[in-house]
Amino acid sequence: MTRQNLTEAEIHQIAHKAAKEAVRETFLIIGLDVDEATEVQADMRHLREWRRSIATVKKQSLITAVGIVTAGVIGAIWLFIKGD
């Protein structure tokens, strides 16, 4: 086996091609069709919207829970005061 001296440009080209192929294979493994870039972008946009909506639901749930607890505490204090 002979060893070739590669130029920096050739090494860069080989590395670029290897990285591109690795990314392509990774995307295919996780189920993303790299040949349909607009579909992948739409999927990512949908996931982002889903994540944001879940975060909004969590925030609103926390606000509601705090409101219920606060109303309960105020009601208990009111009943204690009215009981005297």
The reply to whether 1 falls in a domain is no
Domains held by the chain: number: 1
According to DSSP H, which parts of the chain are helical? Answer: 8-29, 37-83
- Whether 41 is covered by a domain: the verdict is yes
Q: Tell me which of 11 and 84 has the higher pLDDT.
A: 11
Residue 55 pLDDT exceeds 50: yes
Q: How far apart are CA 25 and CA 23, in angstroms?
A: 5
- pLDDT for res 3: 62
pTM assigned to the model: 0.56
Nearest to 75 by CA among 61, 67, 65: 67
pLDDT tens figures, 2-46: 567 888 899 999 999 999 999 999 999 998 888 898 998 999 999
| Residue 16 falls inside a structural domain | yes
Whole-angstrom distance, CA of residue 1 vs CA of residue 16: 25
Q: What is the pLDDT of residue 57?
A: 98
- Which is more confident, 62 or 6? 62
Sign for the pseudo-dihedral over CA of 71, 73, 77, 79: positive
- pLDDT value at residue 84: 63
Domain that holds residue 36: 8-83
Residue 3 resides in a domain? no
